[in-house]
Amino acid sequence: MATLPPPARPLVAPKVPPPKPRGTAARGFGATSRTTRWWAAPALQGTVFTICATYLFISGVLLTPLFNTPYEVDGYLSPLFSPLIVLPFLPAWFSPAILILWIPLGFRATCYYYRKAYYRFYFADPPGCAVGEPTIHRRYSMEASLPFILQNLHRYFLYLAFIPLFFLWIDAFTSFRLDGAWRIGLGTVILTFNALLLTGYSLSCHSLRHLVGGKIDCFSCSRNTQIRHGLWQRLTSLNRHHMAWAWISLLTVTFADVYVRLLALGVITDPAIHF
Ligand code: FES
């Protein structure tokens, strides 16, 4: 008897994404056999993140158009506005920070670490390791469909993120010069540390690590792959602390903006040595 050929495999992806796996955590929101305070870290992280993100949104988008608050003073430029792009044809309600902020915003929003963090503290998806999540999550499939499938753009945001980073270093270096003389002020230190920590955050990126060391079968087979292996090892040592880089650089960029704003408003003065 003749055997039938196997059914042809579909050539296009199904329109309905596959259901979300149930996972192994105990069922029911918050149900867990963990005895530790698993909720403490997401609660703290969610609070800090919300405060920083809200402040950065207000400062970058609303503050200058609404109250004409300066973002630049005495050679110090807020990192939210760097590189400063002023287009004369844009209306007064349009903050110049918007022209550049979408890059660091996209970079952070799609970051592998932040995804884990904000899925926990904003969506309880899951609230913690081995902790039950709301049953409503079974109806959708997170990063397999819009809008969260856009998280796959992370690598491209990484490439773009080096543009504002480059200008932040220029701002940090130029802040050491004021009116043709040298100075070392608290502002120069803050801007330099901010650029340094943002560099650490960018270089510790998981995507960059894969870009440098991925898709290679043999690290020792050629001079090129040996160099890539050496770079990959260095990036890996940074990548181990990516969570720390993520938090500390978020705090310093927030603090750097607060410092420049307060300085520009005359609320504080910049302690500095001029020579
Ligand atoms: Fe966090 Fe790329 S994974 S910046």
| Average of per-residue pLDDT across 191-214 | 97
> Residue 37 has what pLDDT?
94
CA of 90 to the centre of ligand 1 (A): 32
Q: Tell me phi and psi for residue 177, to 5 degrees.
A: -110, 130
**Number of neighbouring beta carbons within 10 Å of residue 88:** 4
> Residue 137 has what pLDDT?
77
> Residue 17 has what pLDDT?
63
* Cβ-contact 149, 143 below 8 angstroms: yes
Q: Which of 75-79, 128-132, 233-237 has the lowest mean pLDDT?
A: 128-132
Query: Is pLDDT above 70 for 58?
Result: yes
| Residues framing ligand 1 (Cβ under 6 A) | 111-113, 154, 158, 205-207, 242
Tens digit of pLDDT for each residue in 140-189? 667 888 888 999 999 999 999 999 999 999 999 999 999 889 999 999 99
> Residue 18 has what pLDDT?
65
Coil/strand/helix, residue 97: coil
> Residue 82 has what pLDDT?
96
- The pTM of this model reads 0.89
Query: Is pLDDT above 90 for 64?
Result: yes
> Residue 221 has what pLDDT?
92
> Residue 16 has what pLDDT?
66
pLDDT band at 73 (very low <50, low <70, confident <90, very high): very high
Q: How far apart are CA 158 and CA 104, in angstroms?
A: 9
CA of 262 to the centre of ligand 1 (A): 31
Calculate the average pLDDT of the chain. 91
Among protein residues, the one whose CA lies closest to atom 2 of ligand 1: 205
Q: Which atom of ligand 1 is nearest to the CA of 113?
A: 1
Contact partners, residue 228, CB within 8 Å, separation at least 6: 212, 213, 216, 219
CA of 143 to the centre of ligand 1 (A): 16
Tens digit of pLDDT for each residue in 81-93? 999 999 999 998 9
Query: Is pLDDT above 80 for 139?
Result: no
Question: Could you tell me what percent of the chain has a pLDDT over 70?
Answer: 89
130: left (phi over 0), alpha (psi -120 to 50) or beta: left
The residue type at 63: L
| Average of per-residue pLDDT across 254-262 | 98
**Distance of CA 274 to CAs 48, 76, 156, 188, 263, Å?**
36, 15, 41, 12, 17
Query: Is pLDDT above 60 for 11?
Result: no
Tens digit of pLDDT for each residue in 198-208? 999 999 999 99
Query: Is pLDDT above 60 for 69?
Result: yes
Q: Which atom of ligand 1 is nearest to the CA of 161?
A: 4
Q: Which atom of ligand 1 is nearest to the CA of 246?
A: 1
Among protein residues, the one whose CA lies closest to atom 1 of ligand 1: 111
> Residue 30 has what pLDDT?
87
CA of 110 to the centre of ligand 1 (A): 7
221 or 28, greater pLDDT:
221
Tokens matching residue 248:
């500390």
The residue whose CB lies within 8 Å of the most ligand 1 atoms, and thus the one to mutate among 103, 111, 209, is 111
Query: Is pLDDT above 80 for 35?
Result: yes
